Amino acid sequence: MCGIVGYTGGKSAISLVVAGLRRLEYRGYDSAGVALTDGQGAPLLVEKRAGKLANLEAALTSTFSQSTSGIGHTRWATHGGPTDSNAHPHLSGDGKLAVIHNGIIENYIELKEELLKKGHKFYSETDTESVAHLLSDAVADSGGDLATAMRNVCKKLKGSFTLLAVHSDNPEIIVGARRNSPLVVGVGDGENFLASDVSAFISSTKRALELGQDEVVVVTPNSILVVDLEGNVLTPKEYEITWDAAAAERGGFAHFMLKEIFEQPKAISDTLLGRIDETGVVRLPELDLLNLDVERILILACGTAYHAGLIGKYAIETWSQIACDVELASEFRYRRPVLSPKTLVITISQSGETMDTLMALRYAKSLGAKALSICNTHGSTIPRESDAVIYTHGGPEIAVASTKALLTQIIALHLFALHLSVKKLSPSDLEKIGNELLALPSKVEQVLETIEALREMTRGFKDATSVLFLGRHVGFPSALEGALKLKELAYMHAEGFAGGELKHGPIALIEEGTPVIAIMPPVGSEIREKMASNIQEVKARGARIILVADTSIDIASADHVIRVPETHELLQPIISIVPLQVFAYEMALLRGNDVDQPRNLAKSVTVE
Ligand code: AGP
């Protein structure tokens, strides 16, 4: 939900800001803009354009290359459509101050009314423009001090925001502030960066500072000052970014999504590394921070991360015998939930910034629950506000559609479930599961080796109007994930159903030729025969069946069979979801869609 970059130093700001925006474009891509300072008192250089970053780049003239300080924004529209005038930055009336914003200013209407009464003019339909006018008034009130002005304005704002502002009177200074939206500082040598996430400056520095809630940061080329809203000086935590710039590049792949699909074996290995051995013994020292006297587990997450939770629930309950519920984070706090002190809340989030999940976490904590997060982004808000965190080691996920993050989230849940169950499972069961987990990277590789066949098969369904996904047990949330991927990438009607639910309504959707992708439980599963019957039921009504099945199964009734390696039943989604990702990817390509930046979406959803 909007990407933000600021640079101040000795180099050409425009190239670094635009390079940063390119890395952040996954956060929003309906318009983009920059504001650069150009020497003491000289007017700001501002350009903004509706559409993707390329439109902005085409509009930039050579005058922009002189400046060594500036800010840039790539937008996912909330208030006001994606037009040039609604694009950020927004300017003060005198044109001396520019501001960019990620989030939502909830009280912008009343602020705007007051500003209109004072004579300010508005040129956009955004909530952000009010901040530009408020800041310019506050700068005047504070004798030209942009940092003090920012602190005072933040106190008046309700909602969520990351804000960056520049003023032409102080061309080397960028002031930032954050509440409920992400902002990190990149610490350079004679230069400093501000950004929504570290990928924006990873090519220049690996040193980053975490900023907390309601903190204001003032950067110049040689200084970084962090204060709270009262002006008290704070000492932010510095950390080193552990991945390199190449991880945030496409590296020869046509799309980030394809690269990330192929990175899954490594992402799984990295997430398992040092945490489990062949005897199935798990080492998660992160959990020492929690008192794991747990009677109930509640998993909260959104979208694909929610599906990870639904899948993890089976292993948690089966192995540990502790009750586990999974709920959409966006629904949780509005139903007045009841949590006992022995409830452990687990939030799952790739970005660590999803607003629905963050708000659910805060609400759960306010009810006294202990909170564990499973997260892929170091230092992001959700792990910072949790009592403990299991980081997944998936590396940066740039494509909007989540792939490797999901598989590593499921792995983290399996590790957590084993950790809880060490006294409940026999040594031989532990060993069997441990070995199966360790074998998953190579099994996912085997699935990826069949990509040509998957591509060919997908072509046969190009003109379908609707695709149904069917599963039982862990296959059901896998089916939900297959449908979500197809919706978001191919813009097709797709739905996931539990096999047993078909007869309660959804079977009416089946007509001659309807594609049904069914995930077959392995041999020995108690629901295998029932799933086989469900497949027959849709086949009898004319469905075209694509079966995802392991090599142990002899199949007659399917139109297509996607063979996947055998594994433990509870681990099966790690393998069976991979072909569904490829199916959605290929279908999106066949339909001419933008795979990495699907319409209307953004990677990090920082609004409720
Ligand atoms: C799925 O492909 C999506 N990108 C989306 O559902 C995503 O999983 C969801 O928005 C949650 O994001 P998070 O993991 O960063 O919290």
260, 302, 487: residue to mutate for ligand 1 pocket, most atoms within 8 A of CB: 302
- The whole-angstrom separation of Cα 313 and Cα 556 is 32
Asked if 603 is an active-site residue, the reply is yes
For ligand 1, say whether the CB of 351 is within 6 Å of any of its atoms.
Answer: yes
Contact by Cβ (8 Å): 135, 81: no
Residue range 198-230, pLDDT digits in tens: 989 999 999 999 898 999 999 999 999 999 999
Annotated catalytic residue: which of 48, 96, 404, 603?
603
- pLDDT given for residue 272 in this prediction: 96
For ligand 1, say whether the CB of 392 is within 6 Å of any of its atoms.
Answer: no
* Share above pLDDT 90 across residues of the chain, in percent, rounded to a whole number: 80
Q: Whose CA is nearest to atom 2 of ligand 1?
A: 401
**CA 75, 16, 605 angle in degrees (round to 5)?**
25
Residue 348 Cα to ligand 1 middle (Å): 10
Give the nearest ligand 1 atom to 357 CA. 16
Give the nearest ligand 1 atom to 485 CA. 2
Q: Would you say residue 61 has pLDDT above 90? A: no
3-state secondary structure 83-117: CCCCCCCEECCCCCEEEEEEEEECCHHHHHHHHHH
- The whole-angstrom separation of Cα 176 and Cα 198 is 15
**CA 222, 228, 232 angle in degrees (round to 5)?**
80
CA dihedral 55→61→63→65, nearest 10 degrees, is 60
Q: Whose CA is nearest to atom 4 of ligand 1?
A: 401
Residue range 171-198, pLDDT digits in tens: 999 999 999 888 999 999 999 999 998 9
| Mean pLDDT of the 498-513 span | 92
For ligand 1, say whether the CB of 597 is within 6 Å of any of its atoms.
Answer: no
Residues 6+ apart with CB under 8 A from 113: none
The arrangement of strands across the sheet holding 223-228 comes to 90-91, 97-105, 159-167, 174-179, 215-220, 223-228
Q: Whose CA is nearest to atom 6 of ligand 1?
A: 303
- pLDDT given for residue 292 in this prediction: 72
Contact by Cβ (8 Å): 393, 290: no
Which among 276, 319, 563, 267 is positioned nearest to 438, based on CA atoms?
A: 276
Residues 6+ apart with CB under 8 A from 566: 522, 550, 551, 552
Q: Would you say residue 289 has pLDDT above 90? A: no
Longest dimension (CA), the chain: 80
For ligand 1, say whether the CB of 382 is within 6 Å of any of its atoms.
Answer: no
**β-pair type (544-550, 560-564):** parallel
Q: Would you say residue 556 has pLDDT above 90? A: no
For ligand 1, say whether the CB of 400 is within 6 Å of any of its atoms.
Answer: yes
- The whole-angstrom separation of Cα 408 and Cα 396 is 12
Residue range 521-536, pLDDT digits in tens: 988 899 998 999 999 9
Residue range 378-415, pLDDT digits in tens: 878 999 999 999 999 998 899 999 999 999 999 999 99
- The whole-angstrom separation of Cα 101 and Cα 6 is 12
* Model pTM score: 0.84
For ligand 1, say whether the CB of 187 is within 6 Å of any of its atoms.
Answer: no
Length of the chain equals 608
76, 261, 299, 304: residue to mutate for ligand 1 pocket, most atoms within 8 A of CB: 304
Give the nearest ligand 1 atom to 382 CA. 16
356, 605, 606: residue to mutate for ligand 1 pocket, most atoms within 8 A of CB: 605
Residue range 3-55, pLDDT digits in tens: 999 999 999 999 999 999 998 988 888 899 999 998 777 889 999 999 989 99
Give the nearest ligand 1 atom to 488 CA. 2
Residue 601 Cα to ligand 1 middle (Å): 10
Which among 271, 316, 273 is positioned nearest to 295, based on CA atoms?
A: 316
Residue 64: DSSP 8-state: G
For ligand 1, say whether the CB of 349 is within 6 Å of any of its atoms.
Answer: yes
Phi-psi region of 602 (alpha: psi -120 to 50; beta: other; left: phi over 0): beta
Give the nearest ligand 1 atom to 303 CA. 6
Q: Please, is 249 exposed, middle or buried when counting C-beta atoms within 10 Å of its C-beta (0-12, 13-18, 19+)?
A: middle
Which among 399, 352, 410, 380 is positioned nearest to 241, based on CA atoms?
A: 380
For ligand 1, say whether the CB of 354 is within 6 Å of any of its atoms.
Answer: yes
Q: What is the mean pLDDT of the chain?
A: 93
Q: How many CA atoms lie within 13 A of 511 on its CB side?
A: 4
Asked if 2 is an active-site residue, the reply is yes
Residue 301 Cα to ligand 1 middle (Å): 9
Which of 251 and 584 is assigned the larger pLDDT? 584
For ligand 1, say whether the CB of 360 is within 6 Å of any of its atoms.
Answer: no
Residue 567 Cα to ligand 1 middle (Å): 26
Q: Which two tokens stand for residue 469?
A: 């996904």
Distance set, CA 280 to CA 290, 319, 324, 452 (Å): 21, 13, 22, 35
Give the nearest ligand 1 atom to 377 CA. 15
Annotated catalytic residue: which of 2, 154, 324, 375?
2
Residue 251 Cα to ligand 1 middle (Å): 23
Q: Which two tokens stand for residue 331?
A: 């629904």
Contact by Cβ (8 Å): 499, 530: yes
Residue 604 Cα to ligand 1 middle (Å): 7
CB atoms within 10 A of CB 69: 26
Contact by Cβ (8 Å): 376, 392: yes
- The whole-angstrom separation of Cα 289 and Cα 292 is 9
Residue 522: DSSP 8-state: P
Q: Would you say residue 144 has pLDDT above 80? A: yes
Helix (H, G, I), strand (E, B) or coil at 436: helix
3-state secondary structure 200-220: HCCCCCCEEEECCCCEEEEEE
Which residues make beta-bridge pairs with 529?
Answer: none
For ligand 1, say whether the CB of 350 is within 6 Å of any of its atoms.
Answer: yes
- pLDDT given for residue 109 in this prediction: 92
Residue 119 Cα to ligand 1 middle (Å): 42
For ligand 1, say whether the CB of 477 is within 6 Å of any of its atoms.
Answer: no
Give the DSSP letter string of 378-416: TT-HHHHTSSEEEE-------SSS-SHHHHHHHHHHHHH
- pLDDT given for residue 488 in this prediction: 96
Contact by Cβ (8 Å): 173, 166: yes
> Phi/psi at 40 (nearest 5 deg)?
-50, 115
Gap between the terminal Cα atoms of the chain = 11
Residue 508 Cα to ligand 1 middle (Å): 30
Contact by Cβ (8 Å): 282, 276: yes
Which among 242, 251, 258, 257 is positioned nearest to 198, based on CA atoms?
A: 242
CB atoms within 10 A of CB 450: 16
- pLDDT given for residue 278 in this prediction: 83
Which of 35-44, 308-317, 580-589 shows the lowest mean pLDDT across its residues? Answer: 35-44
Residue range 445-486, pLDDT digits in tens: 999 999 999 999 999 999 999 999 999 999 999 999 999 999
